[in-house]
Structures are given as structure tokens and as C-alpha cells.
Amino acid sequence: MIPRFGAFALAFAALGLAVDVCLAEAVPFSCTIINDGFAVRINVSNPARADRSCLVSCRFATPIWGGESQVMCSHMVPAGARDVVMCTKTSGGVQLLKQTHGSADCIRR
């Protein structure tokens, strides 16, 4: 049996965790196909007031390999930086047709 104060503390802690999740900042990013579809440039912005370690993942439709290819980049992004080039990578000789999915996460280190 949890004492009345203990139950209140557990509920308050759970509420605090839920609030942390709701306050997560959106991370603006872009995945741009370049070089006639044989490379990609990934950019990201860090809206936070602190430097963050960012990971951006972009998926693209392709004519081979089951129809999809993924490109990922990660590194530190300065506080308040906008539209930073994370990386430019070749597709390995496979043409990228269009972006099918993308995501970005930045965490404090």
C-alpha cells in the first residue's frame, strides 16, 4: 500500500514527465536532392538557447533497393543557429527520386 503522500508524489512526478514531453521543441530541417538526384544536402536549425547534438534522417524513393534509401547526419549545432548544413552525401550511384520521410532530433549534451 502506498501512503497518501507517496501516491501524490508519484502522480506529480508522472505529470512532470508528461509536461517535459509536451514542451519538446520542433527541430526545423530540410532534405534537398541535388546533383540530378545523385546526392542530398541536409540542413537543420537549432531553436534552443543551448548547443545541441542533432540527428537528421531522410528517406527517399529510389528505382532500386526495394524502392527506398536512407541518409542520416549528426553533429553539434550551435544555440540559435538557422539552416546549418549538416552534411552533403552522395547516394552511392542510385538516383533519389523524391523524399518519402524525414525526422530530426536535437538533444542537450
**For each of the chain's 109 residues, which pLDDT tens digit applies?**
555 555 544 444 444 444 444 455 789 999 999 999 999 999 999 999 999 999 999 999 999 877 999 999 999 999 999 999 999 999 999 999 999 999 999 998 7
Give the per-residue pLDDT at 108.
82
Domains detected in the chain? 26-108 (2.60.40)
Task: Say what the pLDDT of residue 47 is.
Answer: 92
Task: Take residue 77 and report the three cell numbers written for it.
Answer: 549545432
The cell numbers describing 65, all together, are 533497393
SS3 27: coil
- For the entire predicted model, the pTM comes to 0.74
Distance CA(70)–CA(88), nearest Å, equals 13
